[in-house]
Structure formats: structure tokens, C-alpha cells
Amino acid sequence: MVHRFTRLLGYFLTLSLCGYVLSSESGERQPIRLATTTSTENSGLLRVLLPAFERDSGYKVNVIAVGTGKALRMGQDGDVDVVMVHARVDEDKFIAAGYGVNRRDLMYNDFVIVGPASDPAGVRSLHDAAKALARVAERRAIFISRGDDSGTHKKEQELWAVAAVKPSGEWYRAIGQGMEQALQIAAEVQGYTLSDRGTWLALHRKLDLVIVTEGDKRLFNPYGVIAVNPARYPDVNYKGAMALIDWLTSPRGQQTIANFKVDDESLFIPTAVQVKRASP
């Protein structure tokens, strides 16, 4: 009887210990801190992607939607676990400096220049984005710049440099805000702005603006996802970051991106793996 009781006690202790271990492992699934661009937030993409990932993985993702520059600075300071951004030159610098690891190509879309249907700067006939901005500057038409060190702002600055224009004056208004706000202000004042296509498609029905320039190869807009380096910041949730990166670049994650549409138009094109494009 004593031996039997001892065996039963040992059995229950083993079960309790296993339950404790499983509970501890589950408890280790601390939330993932994701710093990402306002374009992935404003477009509605994250509202589709992240719930699917959370269901599949058991992780919770806390999103900080900011410009690419600020997202990379948060990664540089170890304040987040993973960044999803769109400024390849800055991403490469971030990795070379030892702040990020395991960058993966995620998806792409493109930028568009939008403005009033009346097109006071007369740029609609121009397919060269730099020449279009030069015409806006020449005509002193109102231009709304995000002015927030975002990927879109960086692209805008690149285009001004190609145009050999240093924008300044009353016509050029840097607002220091996100893409949605820039589009709303441009619509209110009937000015021009540079937008990623994803946010434009998500919001254009509410805006009194039209696309005036698109298709220039300089307007290509690739996105990458990068884990913050755990060797530099041991407290980051590297396991969670890699779980998110692996899922986003998996066939399931990439198909979810491909299926995300507004008005039967894809907002982002996945690049990590080949997937079936959803038909209209």
C-alpha cells in the first residue's frame, strides 16, 4: 500500500511538474513589439495580417505605427523587437551597424503623386516623378510633405535631389505627420503630395484628389522586415520576432498579403515566396 501511494504521489508530482513547465513555456510568449510604418497601418493591412498570425502562433503583437526613420531608431534603442519598414538604404545601414539581423524581403508597391483634379501645376502629362515635382516647385503649387523622416519622406527628398530643387517657401508645407494626415491636408488645401499606393487606395474615395503621376521606376517601394539584434539587446523578444518574420514570409503570410485588396486592386505584392494572385 505504501509503495502504491508513493507511486501515485510520484505520478501526480510528474503531472504537476509537466503542467508547470508547459505553463511556463506558454508564459514566455511575451507580446511582440512591432514598429512599422503608418502605411501598413493606414492601409488596413495589419488588421488582416496580425490577427491571423496571432491565431496561428499564440503570440500577441503590439503595434507602434510611425515613420520608417522613427521605427528604425526604436529598433536602434532596443525599444522594439522587430521593425517593418520601407527605406532599403537605411535598413542596410541599420543592419551594418549591428542593430538588426535576419532582414527579409516582404512585399512591395509603389509611390504615386496625387493632387487636385484641376492640376494647377500641370504635371499630369509627366511620367517622370522628379520632373513633376520640379514643375510643382516652378508653379509654386501647394505641396504637402510628411516631413517626418518616414520612408515616404525619404523618397520625396530623393526625388527633390534628382530634380535639383531645394523646396522652401509658403507653397511647401512640411507637417511632421503620417500618410493619412498628409493626404487629408492635401485634399483640404487642394495641394499635391507623395503617397504610397496602399494608403492611397485605402483612402482615395474619401479624398478630393486624383493620381497625377505614376509608373516612374524611381517610385518603386519595397518593404522589409528585420529582427532587432539580441546580441546587442538581450532583453528583446527575439524568439517572437523571428516567429513573426517566419510567418510573414511563409506561404500563408504571403498569400494573406496577396489576397488583401481594396476595390479589387492589390495594395501590396508579396516578394518572399511565389503565391497565387487573387483574382478580381
187 with 93, same domain: the answer is: no
204 with 137, same domain: the answer is: yes
- Residue 242 is part of which domain span? 11-17+23-108+222-270
> Residue 161: inside a domain, yes or no?
yes
85 with 137, same domain: the answer is: no
pLDDT digits (tens, 9 = 90+) for 74-110: 999 999 999 999 999 999 999 999 999 999 999 999 9
Q: How confident is the model at residue 29 (pLDDT cuts 50, 70, 90)?
A: confident
176 with 104, same domain: the answer is: no
> Residue 277: inside a domain, yes or no?
no
137 with 199, same domain: the answer is: yes
Query: What pLDDT does residue 21 have?
Result: 36
pLDDT beyond 80 at 25: no
> Residue 66: inside a domain, yes or no?
yes
For the chain, the domain total comes to 2
70 with 97, same domain: the answer is: yes
> Residue 74: inside a domain, yes or no?
yes
194 with 120, same domain: the answer is: yes
> Residue 258: inside a domain, yes or no?
yes
- Specify whether the backbone of 45 is left (phi greater than 0), alpha (psi in -120 to 50) or beta: alpha
Query: What pLDDT does residue 125 have?
Result: 85
- Specify whether the backbone of 206 is left (phi greater than 0), alpha (psi in -120 to 50) or beta: alpha
69 with 204, same domain: the answer is: no
> Residue 279: inside a domain, yes or no?
no
> Residue 71: inside a domain, yes or no?
yes
pLDDT beyond 60 at 3: no
pLDDT beyond 50 at 24: no
pLDDT beyond 60 at 36: yes
pLDDT beyond 60 at 146: yes
> Residue 276: inside a domain, yes or no?
no
75 with 205, same domain: the answer is: no
3-class secondary structure per residue, the chain: CHHHHHHHHHHHHHHHHHHHHHHHHHHCCCCEEEEECHHHHHCCHHHHHHHHHHHHHCCCEEEEECCHHHHHHHHHCCCCCEEEECCHHHHHHHHHCCCEEEEEEEEEEEEEEEECCCCCCCCCCCCCHHHHHHHHHHHCCCEEECCCCCHHHHHHHHHHHHCCCCCCCCCEEECCCCHHHHHHHHHHHCCEEEEEHHHHHHHHHHCCCEEEECCCHHHEEEEEEEEECCCCCCCCCHHHHHHHHHHHCCHHHHHHHHHCEECCEECCEECCCCCCCCCC
58 with 93, same domain: the answer is: yes
Q: How confident is the model at residue 264 (pLDDT cuts 50, 70, 90)?
A: confident
Instruction: Point out the least confidently predicted range of 46-60, 152-166, 205-219, 266-280.
Output: 266-280
177 with 239, same domain: the answer is: no
What's the CATH code of the domain at 35? 3.40.190.10
The model scores a pTM over 0.85:
no
163 with 197, same domain: the answer is: yes
Query: What pLDDT does residue 273 have?
Result: 81
